[in-house]
């Protein structure tokens, strides 16, 4: 059975921007309440071209990690755009090949891969910003998502002939 998972740059950007905005808003609210200071405007991350390139590189690294972890079931038809980073890729596609005994859910697999990529990028973003606690949190979240994706990919029913039991 062949199935594909497509990760879109626009979806990852949206989630990363929302999470970073939400975290910055919480920080701003806390500083306003504690210090009595003004609420400063929250700025979205990744507005310039260099930041966009950085984001694409982080997503590419995360997708390379996914392919490395699930190499046993990844088909060669997958489009991993290492060469196309100069051309501003907008999507990554991984084609999986599972046996007919696979009983996993493609929806769960895609969801876990998507969550892994988002958390991986956020961990790198917090590492770059110097927030070690948030970096560790998101690294932990990303590892959990990768483990769930691996377990989902390994969901198979073992069927043995009665004389082999």
- Provide the pLDDT confidence category of residue 46 given band limits of 50, 70 and 90: very low
CB 116 within 8 A of CB 142: yes
CA dist., res. 136 & res. 129, Å (int):
13
Q: Is 2 exposed, middle or buried, given 0-12, 13-18 or 19+ CB atoms closer than 10 A?
A: exposed
- Provide the pLDDT confidence category of residue 9 given band limits of 50, 70 and 90: confident
Would you say residue 23 has pLDDT above 90? no
Q: Which of 72, 61, 122, 124 is nearest to 96 (CA)?
A: 72
- Provide the pLDDT confidence category of residue 115 given band limits of 50, 70 and 90: very high
Q: Identify the weakest region by mean pLDDT among 4-13, 35-44, 102-111, 152-161.
A: 35-44
CA distances from 5 to 23, 108, 151 (A): 29, 11, 16
What's the confidence (pLDDT) of residue 42?
Answer: 35
What's the confidence (pLDDT) of residue 21?
Answer: 66
Q: Identify the weakest region by mean pLDDT among 42-51, 60-69, 101-110.
A: 42-51
Neighbours of 32 (CB within 10 A): 13
What's the confidence (pLDDT) of residue 40?
Answer: 41
What's the confidence (pLDDT) of residue 53?
Answer: 79
- Provide the pLDDT confidence category of residue 89 given band limits of 50, 70 and 90: confident
What does the pLDDT look like over 123-154, one tens digit per residue? 998 888 888 998 999 999 999 999 999 999 99
Mean pLDDT, all residues of the chain: 78
62 vs 24, residue with greater confidence? 62
What's the confidence (pLDDT) of residue 38?
Answer: 41
Q: Which of 15, 95, 28, 22 is nearest to 58 (CA)?
A: 15
């Amino acid at each position: 059975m062949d199935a594909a998972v497509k990760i879109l740059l626009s979806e990852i950007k949206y989630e990363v921007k929302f999470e970073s905005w939400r975290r910055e808003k919480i920080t701003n609210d806390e500083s306003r309440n504690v210090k009595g200071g003004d609420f400063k405007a929250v700025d979205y991350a990744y507005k310039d071209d260099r930041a966009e390139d950085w984001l694409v590189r982080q997503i590419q690294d995360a997708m390379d990690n996914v392919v490395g972890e699930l190499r046993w079931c990844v088909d060669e038809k997958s489009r991993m755009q290492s060469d196309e980073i100069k051309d501003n890729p907008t999507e990554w596609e991984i084609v999986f090949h599972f046996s007919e005994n696979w009983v996993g859910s493609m929806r769960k697999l895609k969801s876990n891969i998507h969550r892994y990529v988002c958390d991986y990028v956020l961990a790198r973003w917090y590492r770059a910003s110097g927030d070690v606690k948030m970096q560790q949190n998101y690294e932990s979240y990303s590892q959990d998502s990768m483990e769930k994706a691996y377990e989902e990919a390994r969901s198979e029913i073992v069927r043995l002939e009665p004389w082999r039991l």
